[in-house]
Every structure is written in structure tokens, then in C-alpha cells.
Amino acid sequence: MPSFIFQSDQLQRLDEAALLGLLKVADERTLLEDWAPLIHELPAVHERFVERFCAYCEAFQLISKFEEMGFLAADGVWLDSFYGQWIVAKMWSLQGQVDRAVDVYRDLLSEAPQVSFRLELEAARIGHKAGAFEFAFQTLSLAAQHAADYGQLQQAARLHARLERTADFPDLPVVRVALMLASAPQLIVPILRVMGFAYGLKLEVFLPDFDNVEQAIYGEQSPLFEFQPQVVILGSNYRCLDWDGSLKQPAAWATEQAQLIQQHWQVLSGKFNCRILQHTFDLPPYDAYGHLAGSLLAGRFRQLHALNSELVKSCPSYASIVDVTVIQARQGTQQWGDDRLWQVARQHPAPAAIPALVSEYIAILRAYGGQTKKVLVLDLDNTLWGGIVGEEGIAGIQVGLESPAAEAFHAFQEVLLQMKQRGVLLTVCSKNNESDAKRPFVEHDGMLLGLDDFVAFKANWESKDVNLQAIADELNLGLDSFVFVDDNPAERQLIREQLPEVTVVELPEEPAKYVATLLAGRWFEALVVSDEDHMRTQTYRQEQGREFARQAAPSLEGYLSGLKMRAQSGAFDLQRLERIAQLIQRTNQFNLTTRRHSLEFLRAMIDAPSYWTRWFSLSDRFGDHGITALVIVKIEGHVWTIDTLLMSCRVIGRGFEDYILNEVVAAALQAGAVRVEGHFVATAKNAQVADFYTDRQFSRNSEGEFSIAPDLYLPVRSVIL
């Protein structure tokens, strides 16, 4: 081969495919003398080249020679480029020096120009080998989130299983899930567990014996009783339905089939007070009646649509619909099912569709586990509109319906407005002059969003991590409830590094894909949408008025007194139950036990004599906060035990918690209780209430339980009326 081909300026003009072709014919001398000194200078070197180059070098047993030549050293030239660093990390691991490899992988992950499943999984594997288990779990979580298909998730699931066997699992909320499917679940379970882990949940999964779902639900000795599921997933498919009955009584068939499923809901809810995730029925790819299957009374398509409609209409508040027809449409019917796999192994859906189905489960489970995000932080230039307003002016930016580019930003704003209307808080974090940044909202006819749609607006030249932290402080919300959207990869990387609690959306270059990318993350999934959600932006804007009043007040006591706060309270009732359930699922900071009681369990408390329940709302001269706190007390004889005491972060610092505790102890005293007990269950988010009881006259015993005799309790003075 001519030697000129290995000159740097020649190689720099080749793409990766050409470089790989040359690499195939390289010998030991060529790898050592020609390739090694140039790798860090080649712009076309990417993942495939890294993999192939390291494989060839291992085959030729050259890695120790590269070490002798200084290429793997801390000051070696390979560390001058990202992919050169990756080669160093791989070679250290191939040499068995996994500790050194982990150090390089740490740097790589912080400098990666884009997300890479291969890099993240590779780093997790080496972390596992090195015993760096925290690093391994962290990088495995990233890999599972970024996996592109079933094959990649399988790889992540296998490593997840190995880590579980050999390392202490991270302290994550545990959710017990019963997977009750009419198909074989074996391929689904490992994907479900690794994706749950990736999004902060430890899932314990129960499987009934095959084709034995009804026995597990109704049997008196069912092992489901021992498992005590918090969530039950019920799923069947069109192949399992009684189609003979559809032909005999087509008018009543869909209703009768739905009633059988509704009985499952009632029995499961009555036995376990669990959340139910109910599949709709998918559609067959073809039908013998062709297009008539959608119009004939007994046609399968028409009957399946009717059955799904019955399930949706009758779905109780303790259940969530998993609309598999939507997932099937996204995947494509041919990718959704595999007739041969069904006939051989009762596998459904096809493996390629499993990640999409499990993603739907995980979105609802995250909402159930209280992991719904609250705040969307938005850049402006090339994010809410096309162009840079500070340079191009109002006339130069693109948003509206006048062109495809403008329409993409219009569509994005349309979705953002819908998110705001359902309770997501919108904020701005932009590097801009504030006056320039606000002009489009006032002057451009194509804008759908207005300044009043945002609860915080930071447009300046401060670093974005500083501004984002300031927004969190203003809203009194944890950074883990924030989602950051910015078209600039450098700004996204900055937030990942400086504020790792914040979720960063990997926005694509094409604005037409912004909507799908944001919504696919399912960060703001909720089990219910309440009246308080619709008013959330207005509520937080009222908070700004309170903050101005606080700054103007001569003292905190004067500020609180000047708010003229009034509280209302009452026992749990059906009218307010959805808001109560939402508070239980979403409140993390001021939550003494973080018990995620199900909606059905809360419903059972309404008339239960063994429970005393109260919701609390708070209003002041600036507006009404709505229901922002609640208490659940379990009554056993003359002992009142506070099972749940929580309060929205919006009203922290008002003395509301003292008003609430005064009410609880007064009610206990009136009921003849001799002792009020409380518990504190520590989580990663509720440290601020660790001393709640000891700061309020309760004594603590050796087992960590708190108690007080209600007649000895001295009510805390409160300015709340």
C-alpha cells in the first residue's frame, strides 16, 4: 500500500467508512507506526472505528506496546480527542486495568458530544468489573434510558441482573407490580425491571402461572395475596376473545366482554387497594371481511373498537388505561405482532414492540411513584422561535404559519400551551437582553405564548445553571422536578454537569421533531388532572405578589400577619378525593412518611371509623392556594397514630404546619385519645421535616417513634384564621 495514504492531511479528508476499509488491510507495523500517531487528529473517527481499531490491536497484541510508546499515558496525544480517550479507556480495560479505565470513562461521559448507549453500557460493565458499583449503576441507568431498541435493552437488562446479584442496589422506591397477561411475559419482565430502575424505581414483579390469571385473581389461596401488589397490569389481545359469542349476539358482545374485565377490577381493588393498568385490545393486521370488518355489526374491527370504548368509559378512578392501539399504531401493525411467536410460545407483542409497551407502563408507574416533573425550563432563540431575536429583530424570527420552519415552532408552542393548561409550570432561561427577549411575546403575531404563561422569566447573560438555580429558589421547588429544554448542546451539557438533578431533553436539530421529542419523555405524566392543576400558573404568579410583600415587610411576623391567611378543612369526601390522591402521589419535601396510598384505599377511609382524615386549604389576600395539605390518622382504641402528614411546598414557611398539628391534637383530645403518635420515614427529599415532631413537644422513644399526651400539648400560636 502506498505510504502517502497514511499522511495526516490525506486521512483527514476520508469518512469513517473509508478509514474502516483501510484499517482492514493494516498490519502490525502500520497500526503502530502509521495509525497510532494520527488517530487523535482524524475527524471521521467515531464509535465503529474505535471498536474495530481496538479489536485489531488486541488481536495483534499491541496494547502493551502502545502503553510503552506513551499513547495510554495521562499526557498522551490520544487524550487530546474524545474518541482517542475512548480508545485509551477500552485498552486499559482490555489490559485488565479496570480502575484506570473507569477514571477515563468518567471523563468521557462528562465530555460526550452526544448521548451514546454503547459508551454508557461499556462504562457500566467496566465499573461492575472494577467494583465501582455506584458508577456502574449510574451509567447503566443512562444506558437504559438511551437504548434504541429491544436488543440494546436486553443488554442493559442482563447487566442489571448481574449488578443486582453482586452489589448493593441503590435506595429506590419499591413498587410491587403484578403482571397479569394473557401472553407469555418472560421477555417483558427484564425490560420492565431495567427500565423501572433507569427511571428511579425498584420493581418487584409477580407472575401468575401461565394461562392462570383468573385463578390468581379469584383463588382463595392465590400467591397474589402473599405478594400484595400495589399495581396490577391486566392485558389480553384480540386472539383471546370469544369471537363465537360476537357472531351470536353482536349487539351485546362488547358490553358483556367489558363487564367480565370490570369484575376483575372490582375484585382486585377490593382485595388489594391497588392501582390497575388495563390494556385495551389491539387490532389484527387483517380480517377475512376486509374493510367490512370495520362496519358490519359483528365485524371484528368494529367490535374491538366498541369493546375498547366500553373499557375507557367505565374505567374507575383507581385504574389507568394503557391504550395499546396507540402503541400499535406508532410501531406499525406488522412490527407489533408476530403470528409465529404467538403460535410457538404465546409471545405477544413481538420483541421489537416490547420497549414501547414497557415505556407506557413506566410512565404511569412513575406518576404512581410520585416522580412527575413540575417545571419546564425553556430557552428562547431557536427553541421557541427560529432565529436570534437580538440580532435579527422581530421581523427576522420564525414562528407562525407562514412557512414550514415557522410552523414547527408554532406547533411546539401549541403543545407548551396545552401543558401549561394541564398544570405544568413554564419558565424561561435565556441568554439575551431582557427587553429583546420579551418583545416577541408582545409584538409578534405568530406567538401563541404570552408573558403571563410563565411563572419565571430569566433573560440575561448569567450562566444558565445559575439562572436555573435561581428559578428553583424562587419557586421553592427541588431541582429534580425540573426539565430543561435548549437547542444548544453546550448549554445542555452544562446543566447535566452542574445540576445533575435536572432532567435535560436531548433536543434534535430539526425543529419539526421538537414536539415528539418532548412528549416522548413522558416527564409530566399524571394519574389525574385536578382543578388545582388548571390554576397552577395563576397560583404561582400570585406567589410573586406575596414575595414582594415579604420583602417590603419589616419582619417575618409582620409579613405573615399582613397576608390575612384563612384556612378551611374537612374530612375526606368524594368531591375532593382526586386532588387528595394527587397530593399524596406528588408531595415529597414536606411529607413525614411518603406513603403513596392508592385512590381506592383513600376512598375506603371516607366512612371508616378507624381513620380520622382532614384536607386543608389556605387562602390569603393575594388568592386561594386550594387544597395544599392533608392528614391521615389511624385510630386504635385511645391511641391516634399520624399515618400521613404532608403539605405542598407552595405554603412552606407560613406556619401552616403548626395550625394543622394544633387541629389534629385538638381533635384527638376531644375524641378522648390518651396518646398521639407520629412517625418520620426518611427519604432523599424530606430531610427538612426530620425534626418536625421533636420541635413540637413530642418525645421520641428508643425505636424512633414520637408521641405526646394531647392534654399536655401546648398549641403553637398561629396567625392563620
What's the pLDDT tens digit per position in 290-323?
999 999 999 999 999 999 999 999 999 899 999 9
> How far apart, in whole angstroms, are the C-alpha atoms of residue 306 and residue 315?
14
Average pLDDT value for the chain: 92
* pLDDT value, residue 3: 42
Residue 683, pLDDT > 70, answer yes
The pLDDT-based confidence of 4 (bands split at 50, 70, 90) is very low
Q: Is 155 left (phi over 0), alpha (psi -120 to 50) or beta?
A: alpha
**Alpha helices (H) in 553-702, listed in sequence order:** 556-562, 577-586, 599-605, 656-670
pLDDT per position as a tens digit, 508-552 = 999 999 999 999 999 999 988 888 888 888 888 787 778 788 888
The residue count of the chain comes to 721
> How far apart, in whole angstroms, are the C-alpha atoms of residue 357 and residue 330?
11
> How far apart, in whole angstroms, are the C-alpha atoms of residue 15 and residue 106?
28
Question: Cα angle at 63 between 62 and 65, to 5 degrees?
Answer: 65
* pLDDT value, residue 34: 82
644: closest CA among 599, 681, 671?
681
CA atoms within 13 A on the CB side of 713: 29
C-alpha cell of residue 500: 445533575
pLDDT per position as a tens digit, 175-226 = 999 999 999 999 999 999 999 999 999 999 999 998 899 999 998 889 999 9
pLDDT per position as a tens digit, 445-465 = 999 999 999 999 999 999 999
> How far apart, in whole angstroms, are the C-alpha atoms of residue 510 and residue 497?
25
List, in order of start, the domains of the chain with CATH numbers.
3-162 (1.25.40.10), 172-368 (3.40.50.1110), 375-520 (3.40.50.1000), 562-712 (3.40.630.30)
Strand bridging mode 699-700 / 425-431: unpaired
> How far apart, in whole angstroms, are the C-alpha atoms of residue 129 and residue 404?
50
Kind and range of the H or E element at 140?
helix 133-146
Residue 112, pLDDT > 80, answer no
* pLDDT value, residue 44: 85
Strand bridging mode 375-378 / 611-620: unpaired
**Alpha helices (H) in 476-608, listed in sequence order:** 489-498, 514-520, 531-534, 536-552, 556-562, 577-586, 599-605
> How far apart, in whole angstroms, are the C-alpha atoms of residue 655 and residue 62?
69
**pLDDT (mean) for 284-291:** 92
**pLDDT (mean) for 34-62:** 89
- When mean pLDDT is compared across 96-100, 107-111, 403-407, the lowest value belongs to 107-111
Q: Is 486 helix (H, G, I), strand (E, B) or coil?
A: coil
pLDDT per position as a tens digit, 70-88 = 999 989 999 989 999 999 9
C-alpha cell of residue 323: 391504550
- When mean pLDDT is compared across 22-36, 449-463, 601-615, the lowest value belongs to 22-36
Q: Mean pLDDT highest for which of 75-79, 577-581, 675-679? A: 675-679
Residue 115, pLDDT > 80, answer no
Residue 390, pLDDT > 60, answer yes
- When mean pLDDT is compared across 119-128, 242-251, 408-417, 574-583, the lowest value belongs to 242-251
DSSP letter, residue 471: H
> How far apart, in whole angstroms, are the C-alpha atoms of residue 143 and residue 136?
10
- On whether the CB atoms of residues 216 and 223 are closer than 8 A, the answer is yes
Residue 341, pLDDT > 90, answer yes
**pLDDT (mean) for 145-151:** 94
> How far apart, in whole angstroms, are the C-alpha atoms of residue 120 and residue 20?
23
**pLDDT (mean) for 45-64:** 91
- When mean pLDDT is compared across 268-272, 428-432, 444-448, the lowest value belongs to 268-272
- On whether the CB atoms of residues 458 and 407 are closer than 8 A, the answer is no
Residue 600, pLDDT > 90, answer no
* pLDDT value, residue 462: 95
**pLDDT (mean) for 658-684:** 94
* pLDDT value, residue 635: 96
DSSP letter, residue 30: I
| Contacts for 316 with CB less than 8 Å, ≥ 6 apart | 265, 269
436: closest CA among 491, 382, 393?
393
- On whether the CB atoms of residues 700 and 664 are closer than 8 A, the answer is no
* pLDDT value, residue 596: 87
CA atoms within 13 A on the CB side of 282: 28
* pLDDT value, residue 7: 63
Residue 1, pLDDT > 60, answer no
Residue 152, pLDDT > 90, answer yes
Residue 644, pLDDT > 60, answer yes
* pLDDT value, residue 40: 85
Model pTM above 0.95: no
The pLDDT-based confidence of 6 (bands split at 50, 70, 90) is low
